[in-house]
Chains A and B, each alone.
Chain A
């Protein structure tokens, strides 16, 4: 038996043991191994953000930068809180605004989009095609040029400097309606007909049949919208003038503006980028898990 033959046999044995250990089949192990390197490369920004926030000043400025921290410290977080102590409005207020807005607006978008997507997918009411067309075309318009008209709308509604100004502009999300409608298209009509024969009302069909089957779409919309609303500074810049009504990302932006060429507060900026990403990361993990878990159980198709 030559060397190669032995190696092959050993490798096969190893693979068998690995698949027994994890309960994966061979195809899955191959794919996982193939994607591992690529995955690590894609994951770099997150790894970097976590390490960057823990770097002391001596490591923050190395070029080209180190991904991993060598001498971790909490100093950047203390700096972030020291910087925020001097401002007239405590950082906790911005944090409260942001969390309240992101949670309420995400909930609102998800509910409103689902409500709208259901008739679009399942009732052929007069005007449905026109509405769907308008929704899709609206995705294509450059938002920058809408800023002034949007400001005029918000100010003539008289909601500047209120939570409404932060929440209402997000409620209509064409992307979310589009995504949910595409998923609801897949719910079999027979299922809905059967429920109707059993005497279910529309509200019942929507809540008990359509929504559970479309949980993956709901979770995906929640991830996307939370990410979008949490990081949004536009409503703070355009629709509020009162500092106590602004949001955390806006506040961080003022902290970290013009930092490209300065040394001061780079530590705070590094810590701030971690603070910004952690909530979106958590929301992603919770809801993406839901996408995967729902799939495993949904057999209605």
Chain B
């Protein structure tokens, strides 16, 4: 009985690893209950009309058809805006995090803590930072810091509406997000760089590595591959899942002429304002697919072989 034999072998294999399963059990149980089931349920809801109160009604692929054929907000604004935002913010934030983490790693221990604090401060302060630093800076009247500075040096003749004009809103959103992009990936990369064995650098020097740049490329990056991968996934996920920034900057929801309308805004618009949870779920499933494909693409580009998502 080959099938029976195979089943037996599989069971034996699983029994051999019983300790591993014991280790992962607490996580798997809570993950299953609080994340996996809700995500599956939300995916299921994307095939229904559901307003959060009445029982969901099955509608099949209707939401997806509508999304790709008729939802002009999605096709004209949310999708292109999100792609543009993510393509600049994802790689930009990733590179900036690495460069800063590397520079900070060169500093002596005692000073480093305070520098790290400074660069992580925007993430620590969260939304507060936005409203108190950027809104006055980008304010559209003459006394907004940026306007008064540019007027002062004669670069522009009249104040620009940095966060209310659809021409500038997206660029403002991108700059502000890059400023606050030293988040989780930054901490992971910093820890990764500091973790690189110092003797490797000495060995490299003996083997004829001369410039710092060569050292980064040939020693630092290869020996912190796991952290680079983590930071890359988080950068992609973060860039696509951003959504509050445009609303916070412009103070309007939806943003002026939908110039800063991102996919997450679209989800919130339908889910939390119009109470069309089914449709909102469909949009978030599409977003999930987009992020997934973006991850795939980036790993193909970087040529990572295993562990990719």
Listed in ascending order, the chain A residues whose CB lies under 8 Å from chain B are 22-24, 27-28, 31-32, 34-35, 39-40, 42-46, 48-49, 52, 63-65, 112-113, 115-116, 118-120, 123, 125-126, 128, 131-142, 144-150, 152-153, 157, 168-169, 171-172, 174-175, 177-179, 182-183, 185-186, 202, 206, 216-217, 219-220, 223-224, 227, 231, 260, 273, 277, 280-281, 284-285, 288-289, 291-293, 295-296, 298-299, 301
Contact = CB atoms under 8 A, between A and B. Distances in A.
Given A39-B118, A133-B309, A23 B108 contact: yes
Contacts of B188: 179, 182, 217, 220
A64 B145 CA distance: 8
A39 B124 contact: no
Most buried by B among A34, A223, A291: A291
Contact of A285 (B34, B113, B267): B113
A206 to B, nearest CB: 8
5 contacts: A31-B107, A140-B291, A144-B264, A182-B188, A295-B191
Contacts of A134: 36
B125 A142 contact: no
Interface stretch (B25-33, B63-71, B150-158, B161-169): B25-33
Contacts of B280: 144-145
Contacts of B42: 141, 145-146, 148-149
B133 A115 contact: no
Contacts of B192: 183
Contacts of A63: 136, 139, 143
Contacts of A48: 132-133
B184 to A, nearest CB: 6
A40 B119 CA distance: 9
A46 B24 contact: no
A277 B124 contact: yes
Dominant secondary structure at the B interface: helix
A140 B108 CA distance: 37
A277 B129 CA distance: 12
Nearest to A151: B38
Interface in B205-227: 226-227
Contact of B118 (A43, A183, A227, A299): A43
Contacts of A152: 41
B194 A44 contact: no
Most buried by B among A113, A150, A152, A219: A150
A151 to B, nearest CB: 9
